[in-house]
A and B are shown apart, each in its own frame.
Chain A
Amino acid sequence: MVPSPLVEVRNVSKRYGSLTVTANVSLTVDAGEVLGILGPNGAGKTTLFNIMSGDVAPDAGAVFLAGADITKLPPHERCRRGIGRSYQIAKPFGGLSVYENVLVAALFGGRRSGREANAVCAEVLELTGLMRKANRLAGTLTLLDRKRLEFARALGTGPTVLLLDEIAGGLTDHEAQDVVATVSAIRERGIAVIWIEHVVHALLAVATRVIVLDAGAKIAEGEPHAVINSPQVQRVYMGVDVEVEVGA
């Protein structure tokens, strides 16, 4: 029923001037998977998302969604086909309320009718803990609530693939656990999740598979704990201010 792989990134590369930001990266994700992406700052994680969502055109390689080549499609078209994304640096519609931010996602990305979109908003706001603040102007939200809103909007588009870029950074342990629970719930609905996260213990709590990027290249892939504990990955993270505490 659901095509496999749901998403495929095939040999993509991207350079900015002489800087190679994405070096011949490939990956696949299936429905119901949570793929974790790890890597030090500047490794090219966000760029990989930008290539998948259509914000950035790769110099080489292709992106497939449900078997169709979407490399040339504009971002709004990819969104309508099921790619929902959040931004690491939140980009709220500051002059619109929290409710209206999600409404945009449900109406346009989700192609919902007015009534359906309303119900999608209700569900998503409840799920991300933003319901109480539905009438607040998004521009007045705290940093944490902006991250929640990024999550909510991406969900509001009704994605089959959800791209989450550091939505747990800066959260307390308790809050991070809430995010983990929400991501698990989403996965159980059959949505594929790709999650970039420096908060490794949060990622390890839900990831079914992990890849590690370094200097634009994929240097490791596999079962999360095995990847984290591999000498190569340990070496990349050495001296980097990232908490690699592995709690099973």
Chain B
Amino acid sequence: MTIAARELRVERWTPASRLGAMLAAAAGVALATFPFWAPSDIMRLVVEFACLLAIAQMWNLLAGYGGLISIGQQAYIGLGGYGLVVLANDAHVNPFFCVPLGGLAAAAFAVPTSRIVFRLAGGYFAVGTWVVAEVYRLVFANIAALGGGSGQSLTALIGIPRDVREAVTYWIAIALMAATTGGVYWLLQSRLGLALTAIRDSETAAESQGVDVARTKFIVYVAAAFGSGCAGALYFLNALRISPDAAFGMSWIPLLFFTVVIGGIGTIEGPIVGTLIYFVMRQFLSDYGSWYLIVLGVVAIVVMIWAPRGIWGLLAARTSWRIFPLAHIVRDPRVDA
């Protein structure tokens, strides 16, 4: 077709989102000062928060955008964690440097794994990803050199002063939080993200409009494995000890469902909101034993019934707030604002 029409002026940022970005940057700088004054239990909490947020962002990318409902992301969390332990303890790589390497290890495993699980659709895909994670758990439990079923400690950290260890771990966590959230934002507002959002809304239509659905999903699957692997490595750097059950266990999955679904699946803000809510509830309710889990479940059910698009979805539908705007807004006299 001949391109005769004049171009439309398209905006992607709004004044509100510029303000939001500045506030987020300010919050990041403030968080980075914690090691100079905050008690170490608060810092450990922030590290845990960062791990869960990073994994939640990755899972949201898969499930909320790619339509890939994986219940086996713990495979990559665990591979990242074991990547850290093996490289740091046995290969004597600087343990802090092992966090991104753990992510790379997870991504390397994700490439062949995707060839298998992508043959499965819908519910079978979900079960397939879980089976893969279980296979990894059993394999690692049977490697005597890695401590078998009882796992091993991160001995590579011996000799590093405690305050240095805690501060560096903490800064890595802040960097991971910024990198996963920023990375997801960067990805979603790129061409690939437009394709992914189209796939989220109608896979059939996306495919028939020229989107290579299989390739797009593959890229996202490997990227999510990388992010989850980094988060897994960081988590076990913070925990100082790894075992196959902790690394490849199912317990991550309800957490991810909770944070992503409560916060708002298919939005970048959703996992942040969901992770915040989870941590606040955990702080206030964890003394009440099983009641804590019951309340968590009730909150999840209530939100899913009355706000199926999550808390952020509810807010976004009623206001025009977007901290991470993705829309192309056309500014033209021929177009309604």
| Chain B residues with CB below 8 A from A92, complex form | 201-202, 205
Bits for B111-132, please: 1 = Cβ < 8 Å to A, else 0. 0000000000000000000000
CB-CB under 8 A from A104, the residues of chain B are 194-195, 198, 206, 209-211
B-contacting residues, A93-126, CB 8 Å: 93-97, 99-101, 103-105, 107-111, 115-116, 118-123, 126
Given contacts A92-B202, A120-B1, A132-B335, contact A97 B327 (CB under 8 A): yes
**Contact A79:B208 (CB < 8 A) given known A92-B202, A99-B8, A122-B8:** yes
B328 x A119 contact (CB < 8 A): no
Query: B89: shortest Cβ distance to chain A, in Å?
Result: 46
Residues of chain B touching chain A, judged by Cβ–Cβ distance below 8 Å, are 1-8, 10, 191, 194-195, 197-198, 200-202, 204-214, 266, 327-330, 332, 334-337
- Assess the B210–A80 pair: CB atoms within 8 A: yes
CA distance A155 to B208 in the complex (A): 12
Q: Which of A64-72, A133-141, A196-204, A229-237 contacts B (4 or more CB under 8 A)?
A: A133-141
Within 8 A of B (CB), among A46-100: 53-55, 74-76, 79-80, 85, 87, 91-97, 99-100
Partner of A94, one of B201, B211, B328, B337: B201
Instruction: Give the chain B neighbours of A218 by CB distance below 8 A.
Output: none
Give 12 pairs: A residue, B residue, CB < 8 Å, sorted on A.
Answer: A55-B208, A76-B212, A97-B329, A99-B8, A99-B330, A103-B194, A105-B210, A108-B212, A120-B1, A122-B7, A134-B336, A153-B205
B210: nearest chain-A partner, CB-CB: A109
Contact size class for A? 35 or more
A93 to B203, CA, bound (A): 9
Given contact pairs A95-B201, A115-B7, enumerate 13 new A-B contacts (beta carbons under 8 Å): A55-B204, A92-B205, A93-B198, A94-B201, A96-B194, A101-B198, A103-B328, A104-B206, A107-B210, A119-B7, A122-B8, A131-B332, A134-B336
- Listed residue (B1, B4, B198) with the most chain A CB atoms within 10 angstroms of its CB: B1
A93 and B337 form a contact (CB under 8 A): no
Residue of A nearest to B203 (CB): A91
In the assembled complex, which residues on chain A have CB atoms less than 8 Å from the CB atom of B337?
A: 135
Which B residues are in CB contact (< 8 Å) with A119? Answer: 3, 5-7
Q: CB-CB < 8 A to B330: which residues of A?
A: 97, 99, 134-135
B interface, over-half SS: loop
Chain B contacts of A120 at CB under 8 A?
A: 1, 3
Nearest CB in chain A to that of B327: its residue: A97
Set of chain A residues within 8 Å of B205, measured between Cβ atoms = 87, 91-93, 153
In the complex, the answer to whether A133 meets B336 with C-beta atoms within 8 Å is: yes
Neighbouring A residues of B4 by C-beta, 8 Å: 123
Known: A93-B201, A118-B7. A100 touches B211 (CB 8 A): no
Check A174 for interface membership: any CB of B closer than 8 A.
Answer: no
Q: A92-B202, A95-B201, A122-B5 are known contacts. Are A135 and B329 too (CB-CB below 8 A)?
A: yes
- Residues of chain B within 8 A (CB-CB) of A224 are none
> What does DSSP make chain A's interface, helix, strand, loop or mixed?
helix
B214 to chain A: which residues have CB within 8 Å?
A: 74
Say yes or no: A118 contacts B10, CB within 8 Å: yes
CB closest residue in chain A, given B204? A91
- Residue in chain A with minimal CB distance to B202: A91
Question: Across the interface, do B336 and A157 meet the contact criterion of CB distance under 8 Å?
Answer: no
Task: Please give, as numbers and ranges, the residues of chain B lying within 8 Å of A136 by CB-CB distance.
Answer: 336
Q: Across the interface, do B1 and A123 meet the contact criterion of CB distance under 8 Å? A: yes
* CA gap between A111 and B6 in the complex, in Å: 19
Tell whether A39 is near chain B: CB-to-CB under 8 Å: no
Please pick, from B1, B3, B8, B332, the residue contacting A189 in the complex, using a CB distance under 8 A: B1
A85 to B210, CA, bound (A): 11
Q: Any chain B CB within 8 A of the CB of A44?
A: no
Interface string of A13-53 (1 = CB under 8 A from B): 00000000000000000000000000000000000000001
Complex partner residue of A76 from B2, B210, B328, B334, CB under 8 angstroms:
B210
Q: List chain B residues, Cβ under 8 A from A101.
A: 198
> Is A216's CB within 8 Å of the partner chain B?
no
Q: Which of B207, B327, B336 contacts A100 (CB 8 A)?
A: B327
A191 to chain B, nearest CB (A): 8
B209 touches A105 (CB 8 A): yes
B contact residues around A116 at 8 Å (CB): 3
Question: 8 closest A-B pairs (Cβ-Cβ)?
Answer: A109-B210, A108-B210, A123-B5, A91-B205, A122-B5, A93-B201, A79-B210, A91-B202
